[in-house]
Amino acid sequence: MDSQRDVYGLEGRIALVTGGSRGLGREMVLGLARAGADVVIASRKADACEALADEVRGQMGRRALAVGCHVGKWEECDALVERALSEFGNVHVLINNAGMSPLYPSLEEVSEALWDKVMAVNLKGPFRLTAKLGTHMAAGEGGSIINVSSVAAVQPSPIEVPYGAAKSALQNLTLSTARAFAPKVRVNCIMPGPFMTDISKAWTPAMIEGLNRSVPLGRGGEAHEVVGAALYLASDLSSYTTGAILKIDGGAAYAAG
């Protein structure tokens, strides 16, 4: 733990992670805390956020704030920012990790409500949080914003059309806000491929076998394997990196940079 703090230099920094109570978000919260950061854990499930906050406090001795928040609603995004700043006085790292990709029977049957919900969680919320905290960071000590997209942004499948469109827009948002908030705020994006998180529990053995055949590294990712990228982009190790999109997918999206 001490060596991680020495390498990444996150001691005394505050990191806010949306979708932080499970999956990739949970592992990033734990990784940030091990590297010395205090954390704000946000998701729609306030009780799950609080359970993880207790784990961070008890096992790592870091300060942790749990906040129930639906990032698809701007008023809740604003309340999340106000709560974090009231509690800690600053936020140095924002990770826009919350996302959703509900199933639908056909494109014709995609409802307006489903479309709006996917866009709200995957794009509208990250925009609002980036606008609010990016402005705060730029006026103060600076900081790092990390968006979490998906290989669906560049290699979309026919079963995730709204999700792929939203994640593609999130990558565009990364590039534009990297310029808007420069030079004091860096904005980058992690583009994960298939990871064996909670969502994978619904995959059939045939789906997993097909995944293992199609991914050059022969498997789906484990949630902890995203942490190194998050720590790099959150820390000063990436001090000359902004507007970057880092693909972590075992080589799955071979047509993408």
* DSSP state at residue 222: P
Whether 163 sits among the annotated catalytic residues: the reply is yes
| Distant-in-sequence, close-in-space partners of 7: CB < 8 Å, separation ≥ 6 | 35, 237
Catalytic residue among 8, 104, 163, 232: 163
Amino acid type, 42: A
Q: How far apart are CA 73 and CA 61, in angstroms?
A: 32
Q: How far apart are CA 234 and CA 17, in angstroms?
A: 11
Exposure on the CB side of residue 235, measured as CA atoms within 13 A: 22
For the four alpha carbons of 177, 178, 182 and 184, in that order, the dihedral sign comes to positive
Could you list the active site residues?
Answer: 163
